Amino acid sequence: MNITIVGGGNIGTQFAVHCAAKGHRVIIYSSRPKQFNQHLIIFDEKDTIKCQGDIYKSTSNAAEAFSEVDIIFVTVPAFCMKAVSNEIYPYIKSGIKIGLIPGTGGGECAFKTCLERGAILFGLQRVPSVARLIEYGKSVRAIGYRKQLHVAALPSKEVLEIKENLFDIFEIPCVALPNYLTLTLTPSNPILHTTRLKTLFKDYCSEVTYDFVPLFYEDWDDETSKLLFACDDEVQQICTALNEFDLSYVRSLKIHYESKTPEQFTKKIRSIQGFKGIKTPMLFINGKYIPDLYSRYFVADFSYGLEILVQIANLLELDTPYMRSILDWYNTISLVKERFDYNTFGIINKGDLLNFYRE
């Protein structure tokens, strides 16, 4: 197949290698195409080569990237989705497959015009593994590949063929999800990252600085776990209220991380190998540290993550005080005012929401 990867970061590089290793013609669409080697490598945690392959080319030219393509994997942050959709739109042909990796963040709405033109949209519930660049344009380290991938599509009837495409690329069993709303409501980074940032920086203002950078997961605490559990319960309340859909695959994080209590969750999250060494997003200024409010953890996971969950609750006239309080806190410190808004895409009530995700 002709496959284009949008984004040359952690996940984009990982996907490019797996696709190329299977003999597909792979193009990476990146703002820095000259930094890419043709030969790309995935290493594991022991620095052993796990997978390698040769891409066809890297380019920043949209016509080269999208004119003759079967599948497009979009691996950029959620706040870039609408701009990417606009770049792809002129080249859309009926049946082209566009995959959002992962499928959360409101990308399904950003690509609404592409859907209307005949594109098939799909997304993964979670990425195949933790991936971190070793050297941009050359290599990436991937740790902890999942035993299963979960995929949903719009229109939903197209999911079975896409499931087979993904299995052929990754050789990981793939589960077809019943609807795309299952991805939208996945309680991953939108509550995992935001609760952690809230407890870390709850007293932050422009005059506050910090002496050190905590590890994001290894220094996790019970206060965060308790807040996370409360938000996790609110997500499950949303699922219960949307009884028009099969949302059984929107699993509680208590189940996903096999933790019945906040204390068990804290112990579990601190121990995950793929999370080791990840620092809290902060900037060093004048000998002190402040939160990096432009990092993806802030910009994407609040404005294009938690924001979506709260908006869905509002459309259902459902109160979610814990998630709403975290979002209200973020809005007091945010430096970026752009945010996801269902109204922008003509979804202004529960009926509109149901009709969009029923496709």
- 18 by DSSP, 3-state: which? helix
Tokens of 6: 């949008």
- 219 by DSSP, 3-state: which? coil
Q: How far is 28 from 5, CA to CA, in rounded Å? A: 5
- Among 152, 167, 162, which Cα is nearest to 247's? 152
Residues 202 and 166 in one domain: no
Q: Residue 326: what pLDDT?
A: 98
Residues 301 and 197 in one domain: yes
Cis-peptide into 155, omega within 30 deg: yes
Q: How crowded is residue 321: how many other Cβ atoms within 10 Å of its Cβ?
A: 10
Q: How crowded is residue 19: how many other Cβ atoms within 10 Å of its Cβ?
A: 24
Please report, to the nearest 10 degrees, the dihedral formed by the alpha carbons of residues 71, 82, 339, 253 taken in order. Answer: 0
Q: How far is 160 from 174, CA to CA, in rounded Å? A: 10
**359 residues of the chain, pLDDT tens digit each:** 999 999 999 999 999 999 999 999 999 999 999 999 999 999 999 999 999 999 999 999 999 999 999 999 999 999 899 999 999 999 999 999 999 999 999 999 999 999 999 999 999 999 999 999 999 999 999 999 999 999 999 999 999 999 999 999 999 999 999 999 999 999 889 999 999 999 999 999 989 999 999 999 999 999 999 999 999 999 999 999 999 999 999 999 999 999 999 999 999 999 998 899 999 999 999 999 999 999 999 999 999 999 999 999 999 999 999 999 999 999 999 998 889 999 999 999 999 999 999 87
Pairing of strands 282-285, 139-143: unpaired
Query: What's the pLDDT tens digit per position in 320-329?
Result: 999 999 999 9
Q: Domain with 285 in it: what CATH number?
A: 1.10.1040.10
Residues 119 and 194 in one domain: no
Residues 123 and 211 in one domain: no
- The strands making up 97-100's β-sheet, listed across from edge to edge, are 57-59, 25-29, 2-6, 71-74, 97-100, 120-124, 149-154, 174-176
DSSP element (H, E) containing 262: helix 262-271
Q: Residue 335: what pLDDT?
A: 92
Looking at the domain assignment, is residue 71 inside a domain? yes
Residues 193 and 320 in one domain: yes
Q: How far is 39 from 332, CA to CA, in rounded Å? A: 46
Residue 104 phi, psi (nearest 5)? -85, 175
Q: Domain end: 129, 148, 179, which one? A: 179
Domain count, the chain: 2
Residue partners of 298: CB distance under 8 A and separation at least 6: 197, 281, 291, 292, 330, 334, 336
Q: Residue 46: what pLDDT?
A: 92
Residues 283 and 227 in one domain: yes
CB 275 within 8 A of CB 218: yes
DSSP annotation of 207 = T
Q: How far is 9 from 135, CA to CA, in rounded Å? A: 10
Residues 82 and 139 in one domain: yes
Q: Domain end: 129, 150, 179, which one? A: 179
Residues 282 and 314 in one domain: yes
Q: How far is 210 from 231, CA to CA, in rounded Å? A: 27
Q: How far is 210 from 291, CA to CA, in rounded Å? A: 9
Residues 78 and 195 in one domain: no
Q: Domain with 48 in it: what CATH number?
A: 3.40.50.720
**Residue numbers of the domain that contains 94:** 2-179
Task: Read off the amino acid at residue 125.
Answer: Q
Looking at the domain assignment, is residue 222 inside a domain? yes
Q: Domain end: 129, 153, 179, which one? A: 179
Query: How far from 122 is each of 51, 152, 189, 224, 325, CA to CA, in Å?
Result: 24, 6, 19, 32, 31
Looking at the domain assignment, is residue 228 inside a domain? yes
Query: How far from 118 is each of 72, 93, 94, 104, 321, CA to CA, in Å?
Result: 14, 7, 4, 21, 39
Residues 93 and 61 in one domain: yes
Residues 53 and 86 in one domain: yes
- 256 by DSSP, 3-state: which? helix
Residues 97 and 245 in one domain: no
Q: Locate the DSSP E strands across 88-202.
A: 97-100, 120-124, 130-135, 139-143, 149-154, 174-176
Task: Read off the amino acid at residue 76.
Answer: V
Looking at the domain assignment, is residue 118 inside a domain? yes
Query: How far from 133 is each of 11, 43, 143, 359, CA to CA, in Å?
Result: 9, 10, 12, 36
Looking at the domain assignment, is residue 297 inside a domain? yes
Q: How far is 187 from 182, CA to CA, in rounded Å? A: 10
Looking at the domain assignment, is residue 184 inside a domain? no
Q: Residue 196: what pLDDT?
A: 98
